[in-house]
Structure 1
Amino acid sequence: MLGLEYFNFKDVWSPVFLAIMLLISAGYFVLIGPLGEKWASGEKVSVSRKILFLTGMLLLYLAQGGPIELLGHMMFSFHMVSMAFSYLLAPPLLMLGVPTWVWRFIVQALGRSPLRGLKFFAKPVVAAVLFNGLFSFYHIPLVHDYVMLHFGIHRLYYVILFIASILMWWTLVNPLPEKAGVQGLKKMGFIFLNMVLLTPACGLIIFASEPLYATYSDPGVWARAMGYCVSGDPSMLLSQFGGPQFFGYLEPKVDQQIGGIMMKFIQELIFASMLAYVFFQWYKQENREDTEDERNGIATLPSDTVALTPGETVK
C-alpha cells in the first residue's frame, strides 16, 4: 500500500522508536498511579485525560517513527501530514493529558533552574513568532534539503520545533488554571496571529511554479535522505526504484502543492475551531457579567434614594 509493501517491518514501524514511546507511556501511568498517590494527595486523573495523552503519543509515533514518517520521505504531501500530526495535533493532546500537578512541578523546577531565563520565549507573541518562524525557515528549500541530509541536525531541529510548538500551545491550552492566561479577545487575536504567520510558507509551497525540494525530485538526494530511515545500502534504492516518483501517484509539483494545501487546511481547521470555541466562551462570559450587573442594579437602591418609614409620605 502506497509503496510500504516494498520495505520490511523495521523500516515501516521503527521498533526501537516504538519501544521508546511505549516506555514513556508506561512511565506516564506509573507517574499518575503509585507516584501520583504520593505526590498529588490522591488527585485522580480522569479517563479522558488518559485517552488524550495516549492519542497524542500515537499520533507522534505515527508521524516520527511509523508509516507516515517513512511515507514522508517519499511524498511531500505525507511529509506535511507528519508535520501537522507532530506540531499541531500531538502537542495539545499531550499537554491536556498530563495532570495539573505534574505541570506545577515542571514549572516550579524550571523556575529554580538556569533555564528560568528562557521564560521570555513563552510569552504569547514571542512563542507564536518563534514556532511559525522555525516552521517557515525549515521549509526554505535549501534549508529543508540540508536538514534532511544530515541526521543529527534533522533530529535536533525537530526537537527544537516540538519545544517551540509546546510554548505556542501553552497560551491556548493553559494547563495551569490558577495562572492568569490570555483570555477573550486577546486569545482570539493570538489564534488569528498564528493563522496569518504560517500563510507565507504555505503560499510559497502551493504557488511555486516548479518542484522546490531536491529530496522529492532528485533521485540521488532522495536516496541519501532515505538512508536515514531504511536499512541497507541507499544506492540499492536507486537500482530498485529509480527515485521517489516510483511511489508517487502524482507529479512532484502537484504532490508539493497538495502538501501545502493540506498543511494550511489542517491548520485552519484546528485554529478556526478553537477561534469559534474561544469566541463562544467569551460571548457567554460577557452576557453573564451583563446579566449580573442588571440584577445588582435592580436589587440595589441608588445612593440618592430616600427610604420612607411606614405611613410617611413625600410632598
Structure 2
Amino acid sequence: MQGLEYFSFSDLWSPFFMIFMLLVATLYAFVVGPWRGWFGGEAVPIGRQAVFYFAILLLYLVHGGPLSLLGHLMFTFHMSDMAISYIAVPPMLLYGIPGWLWRWAFDRKFWRPLRFLANPLFGLFAFNLLFSFYHMPDIHDWIMVRYFIHGSFYVLLLAAALLNWWHVLCPVPEWSRLTSLRKLGYIFANGLLLTPACVLIIFAGEPLFAVYNDPQVWAKAMGYCVSGDPGRLLEKFQGPAFFNLMTGREDQQLGGIIMKLLQEFINIWALYAVFMQWFRKERAQEEDPALDRSASGRLNNV
C-alpha cells in the first residue's frame, strides 16, 4: 500500500495510546502476580497471561497502531479492525482475566440493579444491533467525524462484545446461564444476526460510506488519527483513492467479505470448543454416574 511514508511516527503509532495500553498490561501483571493475594486469587497460568497480553497488543494495533491509520484509508482495513476488536479480542480477554478477578469486581450489591445486562438475550442482541447500527452509512459517517463520540462508541462496542462472548466462554462457572447445547444455538444465532449488515455492504451496487469516497469527509475523519490540520491531506493526496488500488465498491465488498469470513472462522472455533466441552462432560458422566447425579442436583438448585 502506497503513501504511508508520508505519515509521522506519532500518526502511525499513537504514543499516548501506547503508554495507556502499556499501563493496562503492567497493572494486569501486578494483579495476577504479586498483588493477587489481595484479591484472594490463585496463580494464573502463563498461557492465559500470554493470551491477555496478545489481546492488548491487538487492541493497540487496531486502535492506536498502524492498523488504525489504515482503517481510515481503506474500508477493507476498517472491517478487519472491527473483526479483530470485537470478535477476536473479547474471548481472549475473557480467557486471560481469571474468574476470581471477575468475582471481585462484579460480585457486589451495587451491581444488582444492572443484572439484566447478564441476560443472554441482552448480550446476543446488544452487540449485533449496535454493530449493525454503526454500519448504517449515514450513522457511520456521522460518528467517524465526531472524535469524542467515535472513541466513546468504540468503548461501548467493546463492552457489548464482552457481554456477547461472556455467555459462550463464561470465566465464572457459577455465573454461566447457558447449557452447552444452548451455547451452540447462541453462537449460531450470533452469526445470523450479523449477516444482514454484511450482506448490505457486500452486495450494494455503489459505495455507501462517504468517509472512504468523499475527500472532504475523509479529510475530516482523518483528524482522529493524524496530528495537525487534516485539511492539508487534501493538498497532498486529493482523497482516499490515492492509497487504494481498488475502486470504492471493490474495497467495500472486500471489507464485508473479510468481516463475515473472520466472524465465521471464529464462530466455528467456538462451536468446536463448546461441542468438545459438552462431549467430554457427557463421557465423564457415563464413566462416573455420580457426576451425573451431582450435575442434576446443581441444575435443580439454579
Q: Where does residue 262 of structure 1 map in the other structure?
A: 258
Q: Where does residue 223 of structure 2 map in the other structure?
A: 227
C-alpha offsets along residues 153-209 of structure 1, whole Å, 9 cap, x if unaligned?
111111111110111111011111233431221010000010000000000000000
Matches within 5 A, 1:67-78: 67-78=66-77
Specify every segment of 5 or more residues in structure 2 that has no aligned partner in the other structure, as ranges: 293-302
> Which amino acid in the other structure matches residue 30 of structure 2?
V
CA distance in 2, matches of 1:246, 1:119: 49
CA distance in 2, matches of 1:282, 1:100: 20
Q: Where does residue 157 of structure 1 map in the other structure?
A: 153
* Equivalent residues of 1:77, 1:262 under 8 A apart: yes
Shift in Å, 1:37: 2.8
Root mean square deviation, CA, Å: 1.6
DSSP-derived class of the 1:198 partner: helix
- The verdict on how the C-alpha distance between 1:99 and 1:291 changes in structure 2, with shifts beyond 3 A counting, is closer
CA distance in 2, matches of 1:230, 1:178: 46
CA distance in 1, matches of 2:86, 2:61: 13
TM-score normalized with structure 1 length: 0.88
Q: Where does residue 202 of structure 1 map in the other structure?
A: 198
Shift in Å, 1:287: 4.2
- The verdict on how the C-alpha distance between 1:180 and 1:205 changes in structure 2, with shifts beyond 3 A counting, is closer
Q: Once structures 1 and 2 are overlaid, which stretch shifts more, 179-188 or 8-17?
A: 179-188
DSSP-derived class of the 2:206 partner: coil
Shift in Å, 1:233: 1.5
Q: How many residues align?
A: 290
- The verdict on how the C-alpha distance between 1:180 and 1:149 changes in structure 2, with shifts beyond 3 A counting, is closer
CA distance in 1, matches of 2:195, 2:285: 36
Is 1:170 the counterpart of 2:171? The answer is no
DSSP-derived class of the 1:154 partner: helix
CA distance in 1, matches of 2:112, 2:237: 50
Bigger Rg over Cα:
1
CA distance in 2, matches of 1:72, 1:139: 14
CA distance in 1, matches of 2:205, 2:176: 47
More helix, by proportion: 2
C-alpha offsets along residues 61-112 of structure 1, whole Å, 9 cap, x if unaligned?
0111111110000100000111111111111111211122111101213xx2
> Which gives a bigger RCO, structure 1 or 2 (Cα 8 Å, sep 6+)?
2
CA distance in 2, matches of 1:24, 1:190: 31
Specify every segment of 5 or more residues in structure 1 that has no aligned partner in the other structure, as ranges: 297-315
Tell me the percent identity: 49
Q: Where does residue 46 of structure 1 map in the other structure?
A: 45
Q: Where does residue 80 of structure 2 map in the other structure?
A: 81
